[in-house]
Chain A
Amino acid sequence: AQSVTQLGSHVSVSEGALVLLRCNYSSSVPPYLFWYVQYPNQGLQLLLKYTSAATLVKGINGFEAEFKKSETSFHLTKPSAHMSDAAEYFCAVSDRGGADGLTFGKGTHLIIQP
């Protein structure tokens, strides 16, 4: 069975600073990995996905993530935080491309300080 661990339930950064949200996964087969963002009182929106092509994946809103098999990690980064990035971020894993559902981490709440 696969699992996802997101380190830090809350992360606070200053506007303009680097954003780093950590995600480690466990999977018995090569995984598909996803980052979703959830703004208050809304559904989830896909930021980016890794599906065994390039290990560095670029997503929307300036976010990117790097798949590191040796570290079983898929950390999310953005060079310069913006106030509008304040949201809940979820890392998710699937071993069948999402056909039978995604396994989500518990989420990281990103706070942007002015």
Chain B
Amino acid sequence: NAGVTQTPKFRILKIGQSMTLQCTQDMNHNYMYWYRQDPGMGLKLIYYSVGAGITDKGEVPNGYNVSRSTTEDFPLRLELAAPSQTSVYFCASSPGTSGGASYNEQFFGPGTRLTVL
């Protein structure tokens, strides 16, 4: 199993450009998450999904959109990039309630480092 994969690893955007951060998991997990990590600030939840077709906002959703058309994929869309969106973005997945005792463990991808200039 590859686990959680994210592409690209690095990206530089100009203000106002748009892009999609890709996230795929091959563990058949129901729950998927997007976090952003800023220096000295820990991770903050952007959006999450508890299954295909179901998404919900986290703590910092403004400026982002998500979709979940399949169990495996959970892309994050930035429509109008702003310097405040410069960050490292992590995707994570969790088995959900079907996973028994381990369902609340989240598995993280390697991250996408985004710079907006």
Segment at the A interface, from B12-20, B68-76, B77-85, B107-115 = B107-115
In the complex, how many angstroms separate the beta carbon of A36 from the nearest chain B beta carbon? 8
Interface size on B, residues (CB 8 A): 30
Is B58 a contact of A98 with CB atoms below 8 Å?
no
Q: B53 at the A/B interface (Cβ < 8 Å)?
A: no
In the complex, how many angstroms separate the beta carbon of B12 from the nearest chain A beta carbon? 17
A101 to B111, CA, bound (A): 17
Q: B94 at the A/B interface (Cβ < 8 Å)?
A: yes
A49 to B107, CA, bound (A): 13
Residues of A contacting B94 in the complex (Cβ-Cβ under 8 angstroms)? 98-99
Closest A residue, CB atoms, query B99:
A97
A107 to B40, CA, bound (A): 7
Residues of A contacting B104 in the complex (Cβ-Cβ under 8 angstroms)? 32, 49, 51, 94, 97-99
Tell which of A46, A94, A101 has the most Cβ of chain B within 10 Å: A101
A105 to B40, CA, bound (A): 9
Q: B28 at the A/B interface (Cβ < 8 Å)?
A: no
Name A71-114 residues within 8 Å CB distance of B.
90, 92, 94, 97-107
26 pairs of residues in contact across A and B, judged by CB atoms under 8 Å: A32-B104, A41-B110, A41-B111, A43-B4, A43-B90, A46-B107, A51-B104, A97-B103, A98-B94, A98-B103, A98-B104, A98-B105, A98-B106, A99-B31, A99-B50, A99-B97, A99-B104, A100-B48, A101-B48, A102-B43, A102-B45, A102-B106, A104-B35, A104-B42, A104-B43, A106-B42
Ordered nearest first, which 5 A-B pairs have the shortest CB separation?
A: A97-B104, A43-B108, A104-B42, A98-B104, A101-B45
Residues of A within 8 A of B (CB): 4, 9, 32, 34, 36, 41-46, 49, 51, 90, 92, 94, 97-107
